[in-house]
Amino acid sequence: MSARQLILVVDDEPQIQRFLVHALNASGYDTVLASTGAGALEAVAQHRPDLMVLDLGLPDMNGKTVIEKLRADTDLPVIVLSAHDQEMEKILALDLGANDFVAKPFAIGELLARLRVSLRPKRGAGAPGLLRSGNLTLSRDLREVTIAGETLKLTPKEFDLLLALLEQPDRIVTHRQLLLHVWGPAHVEDIVYLRVFIGQLRQKLEAAGFDASAIRTEAGIGYRWISPD
pLDDT tens digits, 55-78 = 998 999 999 999 999 998 899 999
CATH number of the domain encompassing residue 165: 1.10.10.10
The residue-averaged pLDDT of 45-63 equals 94
38 and 71, same domain (yes or no): yes
For 172, left (φ over 0), alpha (ψ -120 to 50), or beta? beta
Domain C-terminal end among 119, 149, 184: 119
pLDDT tier at 84 (50, 70, 90 boundaries)? low
Nearest residue to 72 (alpha-carbon basis) of 39, 35, 97: 97
83 and 103, same domain (yes or no): yes
pLDDT at 25 over 50: yes
25 and 47, same domain (yes or no): yes
Domain C-terminal end among 91, 119, 147: 119
51 and 152, same domain (yes or no): no
Q: What percent of the chain has pLDDT over 70?
A: 94
Q: Using an 8 Å Cβ cutoff, are 104 and 82 in contact?
A: yes
17 and 67, same domain (yes or no): yes
pLDDT tier at 20 (50, 70, 90 boundaries)? very high
The residue-averaged pLDDT of 80-93 equals 83
Q: Is residue 14 included in any domain, yes or no?
A: yes
pLDDT for 113-138, tens place per residue?
999 989 987 654 445 689 999 999 99
Give the residue numbers spanning the domain of 198. Answer: 130-225
Q: Which residues pair with 102 in a beta bridge?
A: 81
Structural domain total, the chain: 2
114 and 155, same domain (yes or no): no
Q: Is residue 176 included in any domain, yes or no?
A: yes
pLDDT tier at 104 (50, 70, 90 boundaries)? confident
Residue 155 or 121, more confident: 155
19 and 112, same domain (yes or no): yes
62 and 146, same domain (yes or no): no
CATH number of the domain encompassing residue 45: 3.40.50.2300
pLDDT for 178-193, tens place per residue?
999 999 998 988 999 8
The residue-averaged pLDDT of 27-48 equals 96
Q: Say how many CA atoms lie within 13 Å of 157 toward its Cβ.
A: 14
Q: Is residue 1 included in any domain, yes or no?
A: no
Indicate the average pLDDT of the chain. Answer: 91
CA distance 5 to 86: 29
The residue-averaged pLDDT of 210-225 equals 94
* pLDDT for res 89: 86
The residue-averaged pLDDT of 208-226 equals 94
For 143, left (φ over 0), alpha (ψ -120 to 50), or beta? left
* pLDDT for res 126: 43
143 and 213, same domain (yes or no): yes
Q: Is residue 136 included in any domain, yes or no?
A: yes
Domain C-terminal end among 54, 85, 119: 119
Q: Is residue 94 included in any domain, yes or no?
A: yes
